[in-house]
């Protein structure tokens, strides 16, 4: 099976776990697209959904799900999202789809965060995948210089503007031995909106699909 087939497998398994009648937080990316389709195939009744990207919101609406603003949501019992890298402590790298800011906000506002992925995303240590960082446009160069001082090689993801009107720097070369310390440090650089490290709010559970079948961390 290829990685798309694993994404579909894990998406269907995650959709089967979602309780009816809740407000569901929904992330972004191709695995989440498959998850949204699987929710629709299950004909699940949800009170509402809160989406981490305009793309996910559109897909949810196309399937007939109500999408509400986070400000209208009382409580989000469950958030389901993908990841670019997952370490054994369930710290994540996210932002490959440039939706990291809204993803992090909804993840932080949710009681439970279920991460779904094909098992190629599991790594011993975060940092092989260039770390996405959302930056205020006027701060692109000053933030890039700060990242170089920390050993990173930032690359501007040209032609990408986030749903919040900001830019993305993809940073290679970082040795992320302590993701929590890195997240705290990078959060303090003026001009950075969101760091694609999800360590302070990591996943509560990870569901993976791969050649050995489904497994849960």
Q: Report the interface residues with ligand 5RP, using CB under 6 A.
A: 27-31, 81-84, 94-100, 103
Q: Is 34 annotated as a binding residue?
A: no
d(CA 79, CA 130): 24
Phi, psi of 153 (to 5 degrees): -120, 90
| Least gap, CB of 29 to ligand 5RP (angstroms) | 3
Q: Is 82 annotated as a binding residue?
A: yes
Catalytic residue among 9, 85, 103, 183: 103
| Least gap, CB of 149 to ligand 5RP (angstroms) | 26
Q: Is 104 annotated as a binding residue?
A: no
The answer to whether the beta carbons of residues 161 and 99 sit under 8 Å apart is: no
d(CA 78, CA 113): 6
Distances (CA, A) of 122 to 84, 99, 201: 9, 20, 18
Phi, psi of 107 (to 5 degrees): -60, -45
Does 103 participate in catalysis according to the annotation?
Answer: yes
| Least gap, CB of 193 to ligand 5RP (angstroms) | 13
Binding site, annotated residues for substrate: 28-31, 81-84, 94-97, 121
Binding site, annotated residues: 28-31, 81-84, 94-97, 121
Tell me which residues are annotated as active site: 103
């Amino acid at each position: 099976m290829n990685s798309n087939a694993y994404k579909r497998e894990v998406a269907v398994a995650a959709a089967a776990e979602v309780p009816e009648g809740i407000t569901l937080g929904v992330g972004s990316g191709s695995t989440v697209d498959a998850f949204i389709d699987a929710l629709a195939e299950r004909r699940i009744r949800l009170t509402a959904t809160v989406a981490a990207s305009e793309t996910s919101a559109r897909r949810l609406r196309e399937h007939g799900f109500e999408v509400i603003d986070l400000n209208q949501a009382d409580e989000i019992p469950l958030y389901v999202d993908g990841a670019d890298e997952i370490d054994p402590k369930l710290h994540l790298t996210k932002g490959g789809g440039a939706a990291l800011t809204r993803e992090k906000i909804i993840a932080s506002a949710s009681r439970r965060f279920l991460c779904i992925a094909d098992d190629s995303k599991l790594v011993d240590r975060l940092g092989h995948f260039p770390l996405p960082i959302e930056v205020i446009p006027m701060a692109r160069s000053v933030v890039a210089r700060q990242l170089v001082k920390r050993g990173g090689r930032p690359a501007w993801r040209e032609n990408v503007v986030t749903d919040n009107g900001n830019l993305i720097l993809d940073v290679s070369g970082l040795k992320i031995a302590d993701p929590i310390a890195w997240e705290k440090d990078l959060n303090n650089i003026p001009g950075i909106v969101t760091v694609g490290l999800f360590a302070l709010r990591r996943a509560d559970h990870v569901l993976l699909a791969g050649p050995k079948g489904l497994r849960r961390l």
